[in-house]
Amino acid sequence: MPASTSYVHGACAIPLLAHTVGSCFDAAAERFSDRDALIVPYQGVHWSWRQLKEQVDSYAAGFLALGLEPGQRLGIWAPNEWEWVVTQFASAKAGLILVNINPAYRLSELEYALERTSCSGLITAPSLKTSNYIEMLYELLPDLSSSMAGDLKLQKCPELRVVISLGDEKNSGFINFADIPDLMQPEHKERVEELTGILQFDDPINIQFTSGTTGAPKAATLTHHNIVNNAYFVGLQMKLTAEDRMCIPVPMYHCFGMVLGTLCCVAHGSAMVFASPGFDAHEVLKVLQDERCSVLHGVPTMFIAELDQADFSDYDLSTLRTGIMAGAPCPVELMKRVISEMNLTDITIAYGMTETGPVSFQTSIDDSEERRVNTVGRVLPHVEIKIVDNDGRVVPRGQTGELLTRGYCVMPEYWSDPEKTAKAIDKARWIASGDIARIDEEGYCQIVGRIKDMLIRGGENIFPREIEEFLYQHPKVEQAEVIGVPDKKYGEQVCAWIKLREGEAAREDEIKQFCKGKIAHFKIPYYIKFVDEFPMTVTGKVQKYVMRDKMIRELGSQ
């Protein structure tokens, strides 16, 4: 195919790794034995790789002692704690498939996740914020309290045989997480060692639920090969080493936390640092300073919250160097502030999707600032990307179209759902992203917007991202999110929700005047709503469909 077409392949002399998650972990523990591995100050944990391996091996054998068998699914419904990290690697060594369950899930969503994947075991936190998980499980499973712990026979979720609780409290039907290592016998330890030579890197290792705005979540199934290699090559882009200490404020139930966070550290021997169970900007700043972190991950809203802490300037962030901003479009002005005010001179942008394990594009620390603030970088090694038009034909360089991915990183399936899998992955193994993008002559990619977010006003296709980027240039604007709302005359009108910087005030006509003559008239927001916050997912993504529904109701009442 001619070089001028929008097809790129990450040709690379560095081969793909043939590791499972377990063998990757063991290699790190052996190589970096006495160096820091896991630091969770709020839980009093400061473990070396040797100490972490002792925990992981004990729990791997303990899981087998519970009767869990390789290939079975083990759910985890908990925030960021040391237990999550140990479970991630212990379950992998035991051959279990870890099912990540969003801590924000309510009963119907939890039930769906357990039944969809036929979980044999579930690890749960006792509670988080206003959610009492123990009470919720008793409500979902009425016969749990009268069942024998470790050998459940439930009417609902009949495959669920073991429910494990974090914390010290004893609950009927539950096994306590802390008691699991005591269950292992010599044969269970031997079985873990035996599995090292049996488990294959193409085996499924993780199931993550994609958060669609319509319909039930889809259970993306990832293999060892998908996530070990993605973590390894993402780490290379940041030049991670055993000298680095990574603060991971993003949730572990998401790829960002468990692949680009912990597994990335394992692949390169870096220390993992957790500031709090859920995101807390103040605690992040404190741990960055106290633990001398060099790496920080986050979605844009997290970086905004950190920068806007009243005592931000009191913290010493001089050890920071790199990290990843991803999970949502990264505003140019925010990137500039992160580089200049947080000392993240080598921060990278990463782009991808859960189904591609997750990253396909990433900037390099060697890229110019202009490239790092305006693009998502170049394709990662061993990954293929093409940009296609509505007919599926590859477009010329510089033109927009839908981004498709192929390569080692693409998931094998949605769990036990061949119909959805066939819709997502074509016969040539390309998976569509739903994102509109363009690739320039040097292979750098720009994400223009989501197909579903695109609005059409009077026949003009408008991508919200373009307007948002412009609004960020206004000195009073801290955050801007643009949506389309129905309009009788034009089909849709542009609506902007704007959060102003602290202490600032602005009028609608002031914002509109700022836009006049600088962007096309049809892109100027017709409706402007000043807000203090945006509806968000747990991972920090703005829920534009919630914004749209609210505006439709408000405009209808007017």
Per-residue model confidence as pLDDT tens digits over 441-474: 999 999 888 888 888 887 777 888 889 989 999 9
Q: For residue 299, which of 345, 360, 347 has the smallest C-alpha distance?
A: 347
Could you report the per-residue pLDDT of 298-348, keeping only the tens digit for each?
988 899 899 999 999 999 999 999 999 997 778 888 999 999 999 999 999
Average pLDDT, whole number, for the chain? 94
Question: Quick check: 297 and 249 in contact, CB under 8 A?
Answer: yes
- pTM, two decimals, is 0.87
Element holding 163 (H helix, E strand):
strand 162-165
- Section 416-430 average pLDDT: 96
Span 76-81, mean pLDDT? Answer: 97
d(CA 552, CA 531): 16
Residues 324-340: b if buried by 16+ CB within 10 A, e if exposed? bbbbbbbbbbbbeebbe
CATH 3.40.50.980 at 21-25+46-203, yes or no: yes
Handedness of CA 233, 289, 541, 104 (dihedral sign): positive
**pLDDT, tens digit (0-9, with 9 covering 90-100), for 383-403:** 999 999 999 999 999 999 999
Cα–Cα dist 433/450, whole Å:
9
| Domain boundaries of the chain, sorted by first residue | 21-25+46-203, 455-557
- List the beta bridge partners of residue 399: none
Nearest residue to 106 (alpha-carbon basis) of 77, 83, 81:
77
Sign of CA dihedral 254, 255, 261, 266: positive
CA 144 – CA 174 distance, rounded (Å): 8
Strands 295-298 and 45-48: what pairing? unpaired
Is 455-557 the same fold as 21-25+46-203?
no
| Each residue's pLDDT tens digit, 82-133 | 999 999 999 999 999 999 998 888 888 899 999 999 999 999 999 988 889 9
- Answer whether residue 349 shows pLDDT above 90: yes
Q: Residue 190's Cα: distance from chain center in Å?
A: 34
Instruction: Please list the residues that pair with 36 across neighbouring strands.
Output: 48
Q: In the prediction, which pLDDT does 355 show?
A: 97
- Please give the CATH topology (third level) of the domain spanning 455-557: GMP Synthetase; Chain A, domain 3 (3.30.300)
Instruction: Give the model's pLDDT for residue 150.
Output: 94
The pLDDT assigned to 483 comes to: 94
Strand partners, 387: 403
Burial of 177: CB neighbours in 10 Å, binned 0-12, 13-18, 19+: buried
Digit-coded pLDDT (tens) for 204-261: 999 999 864 445 789 999 999 999 999 999 999 999 999 999 999 999 999 999 999 9
